[in-house]
Amino acid sequence: MGVFRGRDGKRLVWTILGLIIAALIGLALFRYVGTLLFAIFVYYATRPLYRWLDRYIDHPNVTTTITILFVIIPMVAIIGYAGIVALRELDQFLAASNLEAYRARFQPYLRLAHQGNIEQLLESFRSGTGSSITEVLRQGLPSAVQQVASIAGFVFSVLARLFLMLTILFYLLRDDHRLRQWFYDSIDHEQRIVDYANDVDDDLETVFVGNLAVILVAAIVAVATYYGLNFLASGGPVVGTPVLLSLLIGIGTLIPAVGMKIVYVPYGLLLLGLAVTTPTPLWHPIAFLILTFVVVDTVPDFFARSLLSARSGIHMGLVLLGYFLGTLAFGWYGLFLGPIVVVLATHFADKIFPDLMDDLFAN
């Protein structure tokens, strides 16, 4: 009858309440685990920049905002630039193929959109070709409304996840020291746990900052290589969009096993197709693939990841295995979860597991 009256009873009640709260929070975060893990990745990748800015800017909110803009502005610029290039490539593809009739239909709208004349664009929808499009919309209005609702739901979902990621990132950057201090106070500064948490924190920063470094090094080397190749090529550039392709190649380094090959191999095959079907010289795709593999893919990846392995206390093979198995087991967010699990497991095996075995066999 006194199970809830003594100290053990109160502890049991509080423990049950804590487990319920933890389960509810875990359930909410599990639905957006990819967003959470991406925020953690960006946090560790940008934390050195935040701490450097914090030395000169005596305002945490401003420092955090500048750090986040450092991530968001390039992301938006890449997406916008990729959209513009995609429109140009579509227009050139339609012009160079047997789809000239489709290009003629889109050309008035593309031209007006490029010029930014919205009034003429709307007027063209009200008359001429636009009237036929309006008639089609009237006939298929129910399905069109359903498609618009579906697109609107997708856009809202993406924006909601982006807002959640930015919110988590903002408070991790600004208040991580408070979270760390709360945790240490809660465990009464147990030395073994503190050492374990500090080692994990340091190595996660090293791994994720190293990933960012690999992206930047690969993109810079690719830009220099492709501009040099275009300069030496006769009869037109080999790479039409060297900056965009280099940025995509840098981002492609995050993909396990395949890496940047997922970007430059299809592009090389596209150049090969153009060389077969057009007067483009055959040496263009061959030179592109060889230089990309040797200079852009092999050299930066080898040196950058070797430097990362030297700075980190974790074997580079384990980190790469974490990326690969994490992605296979958990999907795209395993790209970030895999290295976290590897770091946690490595330091547990190094510092905690031997002590647990000593205590077990000592008893």
In sequence order, what DSSP letters do the residues of 160-208 get, joined into one string? HHHHHHHHHHHHHHHHHHHHHHHHHHHTTT-HHHHHHHHHHHHHHHHHH
Q: How far apart are CA 327 and CA 329, in angstroms?
A: 6
Q: Mean pLDDT across the chain, nearest whole number?
A: 77
**Residues with Cβ < 8 Å from 304, sequence gap 6 or more?**
210, 213, 214, 217, 218
Instruction: Pick 363 or 250 by higher pLDDT.
Output: 250
Query: Which is nearest to 319 in space by CA: 33, 194, 195, 327?
Result: 327
Q: How far apart are CA 189 and CA 183, in angstroms?
A: 8
Q: What is the pLDDT of residue 20?
A: 94
Mean pLDDT, range 204-214, rounded to an integer = 82
pLDDT in tens, 243-265: 888 888 887 777 666 678 888 88
Contacts 24+ apart (CB under 8 A), 224-232: 225/291, 225/292, 225/295, 225/296, 229/287, 229/288, 229/291
CA atoms within 13 Å, Cβ hemisphere of 120: 10
Burial (0-12, 13-18, 19+ Cβ within 10 Å), 108? middle
Query: Which is nearest to 327 in space by CA: 341, 337, 342, 316?
Result: 337
Give the gyration radius of the chain's Cα atoms. 27
Instruction: Pick 72 or 31 by higher pLDDT.
Output: 31
| pTM score, whole prediction | 0.70
Instruction: Pick 39 or 133 by higher pLDDT.
Output: 39
Q: What is the pLDDT of residue 127?
A: 53
Reported as a pLDDT band with limits 50, 70 and 90, residue 280 is: confident
Q: What is the pLDDT of residue 120?
A: 53
pLDDT in tens, 106-128: 555 455 445 445 455 455 545 54
CA atoms within 13 Å, Cβ hemisphere of 165: 20
pLDDT in tens, 56-85: 888 888 999 998 888 777 776 766 666 666
Query: Which is nearest to 213 in space by CA: 327, 44, 34, 37?
Result: 44
Q: Would the pLDDT of 298 be above 80?
A: no
- What DSSP state is assigned to residue 99? -
Query: Which is nearest to 29 in space by CA: 173, 176, 165, 155?
Result: 165
Instruction: Pick 146 or 197 by higher pLDDT.
Output: 197
Q: What is the pLDDT of residue 118?
A: 46
Please tell me the least confidently modeled range out of 133-137, 219-223, 292-296, 348-352.
133-137
pLDDT in tens, 153-191: 777 887 888 888 889 999 999 999 999 999 898 888 888
